[in-house]
Amino acid sequence: MSVISEPAAQVRVPSPVAAAERSRWAALLLISLAQLMVVLDTTIVSIALPSAQEALRISSTDRQWVITAYTLSFGALVLIGGRVADYAGRKRAFLIGLTGFAFASAVGGAAVDPAMLIGARAVQGAFGALLAPTVLSMLTVTFSGPRERARAFAVFGAVASGGGALGLILGGVLSEYLSWRWCLYVNVPIAVVVATGGAAVLPDVRSAARPRLDVPGALLAAGGLLSLVLAVSEAASDGWTSTVVIGLLIAAGALLTAFAWVQARGTSPLLPPRIVLDRNRGGAYLAIGFTVAGMYGLFLFLTFYLQVVRHYSPVSAGLAFLPLSAAILFSSSVISSRLSPRVPPRALIVPGLLLGVGAMLVLTRLTATGSFAGHVLPAELLLGLGMGAVFGSAFNTATQRVDRRDAGVASAVVNTSQQVGASIGTALLNTVAASASTGYLVAHPHLVTAALVHGYAVSAGVAAGLLGTAVLVAAVLINAPKPSPGKPNVLTPNATKQGAGR
């Protein structure tokens, strides 16, 4: 009887290309989770603030510092954080920023008095200023091909634009069913997962050239941004014409002008002029700033409208933002990710912003007795569909064709645009709403609720104007063509210099 030997089992060796592809998309997941943690913190604490104020006996005068301490340190240090990421290595900066942010969150959650909570929020902002630009710069250098880059930025844009709404939902659930402290503690498990995966998956990208840190530029940038963010924060309570606000705005203008002068003449500038003088990147930075300023109006005033006027519970108010999150997810994952590789970025950004303008115009029709389905829902759906198309394309444009050694600082400017836009938008719209409500009460002394809603509606009109300005900026300045398969979006240090008028 003959014995027929079976062929040896074939062992499949994973393709290096397939392994690298899986690694990149795993990196995208971790990067997006880290970005989600930073974005969540901009709104989740707002929902928790009333409970925290009662538990720690924070005065009404001091409660704003729970928010402002974060925005001040973040806004003042974000440019420096981007440059540190370029110098120290992005993986190292990512893990340091993540760990510090989680530690500060835990301290804030365990706060026993106002000073401990406010101090923890300031430290959160400092580490967020390192983490946020590092996250975006890692995305920039990980995905350089136009098609995969467009898809990656669509995912990242969905997180950046939808994270704020998700923060309101999560904050309401945690505050009502657990404790306001979990609105800070929640960052810790996210950070543990991301840090563990990041240490194994993320590439250790370092800049070959490591010039000295621009100390004068760093001090001028930090001082100027600190003065600007503090000025708009004070304007929310003292008004734009107060002596303190005017003085801070003058100081911010002088410091930032000096910063620009130093950058134009320095040998190792903190913010190389070539980064912002490119018309497409500069247009994207401005469009992002105006968009965030207008968009935060919806978060701010709809939260008050739902809870104060319509008497929603924190959970119900948070869940009311679900349609917005769903519309953003649909727009970014179905529409933007498919169209981004095929059309110029302006073809997505401008229509998306126009939908945002429409959303704010719908909110100008708010009334004290209006229904959720009649006013709030249409506005959320329009804004979600629009912002899902805007942010991925705008972030992509803001960091495209940038030298690898400048990826961190280019990403930091994106975060600066967001932070300054959010601060100015919140202060401006809050002032407009308060003035409009006061004027309405003068004419109708007993209609307090109607006066509040009138203020919200007027500020929605101003928010529409801010988004309309973003439309004009994007339409005039952003002229980048549709992505070219043969053209990389990240340059090596020896690549052709980027011109200001490209």
- Interatomic CA distance for residues 1 and 244, integer angstroms: 102
Kindly indicate the confidence band of residue 175, based on its pLDDT and cuts at 50, 70 and 90: confident
pLDDT at 60: 61
Distances from the Cα of 273 to the Cα of 269, 287, 382, 409, 498, angstroms: 8, 19, 36, 11, 10
Mean pLDDT, rounded, for 206-211? 58
Q: Is the pLDDT of residue 19 over 60?
A: no
Choose the weakest-confidence range: 263-272, 315-324, 448-457: 263-272
pLDDT at 278: 84
Question: Is 23 a residue whose pLDDT tops 80?
Answer: no
Is residue 325 within 8 Å of residue 166, measured between CB atoms? yes
Q: Is 12 helix (H, G, I), strand (E, B) or coil?
A: coil
Region 350-374: mean pLDDT is: 89
Domain boundaries, the chain: 23-213+270-489, 214-269
Q: Please tell me the predicted confidence (pLDDT) of residue 490.
A: 47
| Per-residue pLDDT at 397 | 84
Map residue 278 onto helix, strand or coil. coil
The backbone torsions φ and ψ at residue 183, rounded to the nearest 5 degrees and listed phi first, read -70, -20
How far, in Å, CA of 129 to CA of 71, rounded? 10
Kindly tell me if the per-residue pLDDT of 477 is higher than 80.
yes
For 116, counting Cβ atoms within 10 Å of its Cβ (0-12 exposed, 13-18 middle, 19+ buried), the class is middle
Q: pLDDT over 90 for what percent of the chain? A: 15
**Cα–Cα dist 45/406, whole Å:** 32
Whether residue 101 has pLDDT greater than 80: yes
Q: Would the pLDDT of 361 be above 90?
A: yes
Nearest to 440 by CA among 358, 359, 378, 366: 366
Length of the chain in terms of residues written: 502
- Whether 495 shows a pLDDT value over 70: the answer reads no
The number of C-alpha atoms within 13 Å of 334 and in the hemisphere containing its C-beta is 9
pLDDT confidence band for 290 (50 / 70 / 90): very high
In this predicted model, what pLDDT tens digit does every residue of 121-137 receive, in sequence order?
Answer: 989 988 988 888 787 77
pLDDT in tens, 220-252: 888 888 888 788 777 766 777 889 889 999 999
Q: How much is the pLDDT for 61?
A: 60
Higher pLDDT, 355 or 314: 355
pLDDT in tens, 363-412: 998 888 878 888 889 999 999 899 888 887 888 888 777 766 666 677 77
In the block, tokens 């004068």 appear at: 216
Query: What's the confidence (pLDDT) of residue 499?
Result: 40
3-state secondary structure of 282: helix
| DSSP classification of residue 403 | E
User: pTM higher than 0.85 for the full model?
Assistant: no
In angstroms and rounded to an integer, the radius of gyration of the C-alpha atoms of the chain is 23
Buried b (16+ CB within 10 A) or exposed e, 18-34: eeeeeebeebbebbbbb
Residue for token digits 């401990």? 116
Stretch 167-180: mean pLDDT, rounded?
81
pLDDT at 24: 73
Q: Worst-scoring range by mean pLDDT, 150-159, 183-192, 283-292, 493-502?
A: 493-502
- pLDDT bracket for residue 18 (50, 70, 90): low
Higher pLDDT residue, 172 or 5?
A: 172
Mean pLDDT, the chain, whole residue set = 79
CATH top class, domain 23-213+270-489 = mainly alpha
Q: Which of 385, 350, 368, 362 is nearest to 470 (CA)?
A: 350
Highest mean pLDDT, choosing among 102-116, 191-205, 230-244, 334-348: 102-116
pLDDT at 106: 94
Determine the Cα–Cα distance for residues 436 and 430; give it in Å rounded to an integer: 10
pLDDT at 11: 46
> What does the alpha-carbon distance between residue 53 and residue 294 come to, in Å, rounded to a whole number?
27
| pLDDT tier at 467, thresholds 50, 70, 90 | very high
